[in-house]
């Protein structure tokens, strides 16, 4: 709650305040304002609260608007542009202004329903080519011409009501378009090396909070990426989080990248670096030079190769998250997973995570306990199941639904937090599953706990 609001509320005599959840603050505030005594003693406080309440409600409406999926948002734009009032006022009174560093794609080839467009590069830097023309700029209403229409009494009461509804819709669309464009330009500024190379090792740590602060800084004065006079009244990391949900963009290399992938944490970046060092370790071992890297050696190589200083404790924690055993285990004859098999990162095993991270293609997958391990004859491991499927997303969803055929796995999923990872396999699916199961059995002395028979 802002200082201004706190100061005004404290002026309300006889009113008891309590902590209210932020998501209910707008409705709570409206109820409070409705009960305010209309006394001349606190007219300024009432005015302050009503102004703050209106602004708060506007922000809440915008936040809900930002959550619209891309296809639904495009439908909202097209519906507004098809209204009678919009078509009558375009182009004499309503105009569209293209954002700086924005274009519209001539062809939608390569775009999926979740792709907003493509980030491209020219001599001046990165620019954004949008798949939908209604997202590449903002709508402007000529207020001078509108006053002339009113003075000429050419607007009926119904026209005025329709015009006000159109204003509100344009304001919401403009706000979302401005924030989207600023967010994409900020991503290009921070992750330009990755966009050019396509190498995940070039991704830099970036939080949504940091990007929100960058946007606020660029908006001080004339923004480089918005038309003169355009502004964003409110920018918050939660808004960026809602925008990046289930939306992607094409890179200059024509790679589709989910927007959430542009926001790795420092720990995520370290994990990629460590994985690269361990790939290097395997190349050395194939030449029979030395053994597996210790955490101390990994620390040295991280500094030499990437210029980052990471503690051994952090390296060990990253290894555990990635299910990479310590060096003495990697030096043994039997290792799991085999070095030549590159499984994905671990993702939480829940419906939302499966929908976001599991592809609808064939592959072999592994399910693990997130926080505990199972004792096997030779060693302990968090892995409890290895399987294969022609559609990974569908199969993982089936495991989460009631009535799963694997009762032992169902019990573990109900009792513990679990994760999954996978490897894509186009041919010989059962053979790939069999090899992974045999590798696990050789390393730990038995099949994973929930694999009832060998594939």
Query: What separation in angstroms does the CA of 257 have from each of 119, 187, 200, 360, 395?
Result: 10, 12, 11, 16, 24
Virtual torsion, Cα 194, 197, 200, 203, nearest 10 deg = -20
pLDDT single digits (tens) 41-84: 445 555 655 555 566 666 778 888 999 999 999 999 999 999 99
What pLDDT shows up at residue 39? 47
What pLDDT shows up at residue 50? 57
Q: Would you say 281 and 293 are in contact if contact means Cβ atoms under 8 Å apart?
A: yes
Residue 351 pLDDT more than 60? yes
Vertex 35 angle, CA 34 and 36, to 5°: 95
pLDDT single digits (tens) 166-189: 999 999 999 999 999 999 999 999
Which range has the worst mean pLDDT, 12-26, 191-205, 241-255? 12-26
Which range has the worst mean pLDDT, 21-30, 88-97, 132-141, 383-392? 21-30
Q: How far is residue 28's CA from residue 21's CA, in Å, rounded to a whole number?
A: 9
pLDDT single digits (tens) 309-338: 999 999 999 988 876 778 876 776 567 888
Q: What is the pTM of this model?
A: 0.68
Residue 217 pLDDT more than 80? yes
């Amino acid at each position: 709650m802002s200082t201004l609001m706190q100061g005004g509320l404290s002026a309300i005599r006889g009113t008891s305040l309590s902590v209210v959840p932020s998501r209910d603050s707008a409705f709570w505030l409206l109820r409070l304002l409705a009960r305010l005594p209309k006394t001349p003693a606190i007219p300024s406080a009432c005015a302050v609260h009503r102004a703050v309440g209106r602004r708060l409600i506007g922000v809440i409406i915008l936040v809900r608007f930002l959550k619209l999926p891309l296809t639904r948002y495009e439908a909202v734009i097209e519906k507004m542009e098809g209204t009678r009032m919009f078509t009558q006022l375009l182009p004499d009174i309503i105009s569209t202004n293209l954002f700086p560093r924005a274009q519209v794609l001539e062809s939608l080839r390569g775009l999926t329903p979740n792709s907003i467009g493509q980030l491209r590069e020219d001599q001046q830097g990165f620019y954004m080519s949008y798949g939908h023309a209604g997202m590449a700029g903002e709508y402007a209403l000529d207020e001078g011409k509108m006053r002339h229409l009113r003075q000429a009494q050419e607007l009926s009461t119904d026209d005025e009501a329709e015009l006000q509804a159109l204003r509100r819709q344009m304001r919401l669309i403009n706000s979302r378009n401005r924030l989207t464009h600023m967010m994409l330009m900020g991503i290009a500024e921070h992750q330009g090396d990755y966009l050019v190379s396509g190498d995940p090792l070039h991704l830099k740590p970036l939080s949504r909070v940091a990007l929100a602060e960058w946007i606020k800084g660029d908006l001080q004065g004339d923004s480089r990426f918005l038309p003169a006079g355009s502004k964003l009244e409110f920018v918050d990391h939660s808004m960026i989080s809602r925008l990046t949900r289930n939306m992607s963009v094409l890179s200059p290399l024509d790679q589709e990248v989910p927007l959430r992938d542009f926001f790795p944490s420092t720990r995520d970046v370290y994990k990629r670096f460590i994985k690269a060092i361990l790939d290097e370790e395997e190349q050395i071992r194939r030449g029979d030079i030395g053994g597996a890297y210790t955490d101390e050696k990994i620390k040295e190589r991280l500094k030499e190769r990437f210029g980052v200083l990471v503690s051994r404790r952090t390296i060990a924690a990253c290894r555990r998250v990635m299910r990479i055993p310590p060096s003495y285990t990697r030096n043994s004859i039997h290792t799991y997973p085999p070095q030549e098999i590159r499984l994905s990162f671990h993702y939480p095993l829940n419906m939302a995570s499966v929908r976001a991270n599991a592809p609808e293609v064939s592959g072999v997958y592994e399910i693990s306990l997130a926080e505990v391990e199972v004792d096997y004859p030779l060693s302990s491991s968090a892995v409890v199941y290895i399987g294969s499927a022609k559609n990974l997303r569908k199969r993982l969803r089936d495991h989460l639904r009631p009535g799963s055929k694997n009762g032992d796995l169902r019990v573990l999923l109900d009792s513990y937090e679990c994760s999954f990872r996978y490897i894509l396999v186009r041919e010989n699916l059962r053979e790939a599953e069999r090899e992974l199961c045999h590798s696990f059995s050789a390393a730990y002395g038995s099949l994973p706990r929930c694999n009832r028979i060998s594939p």
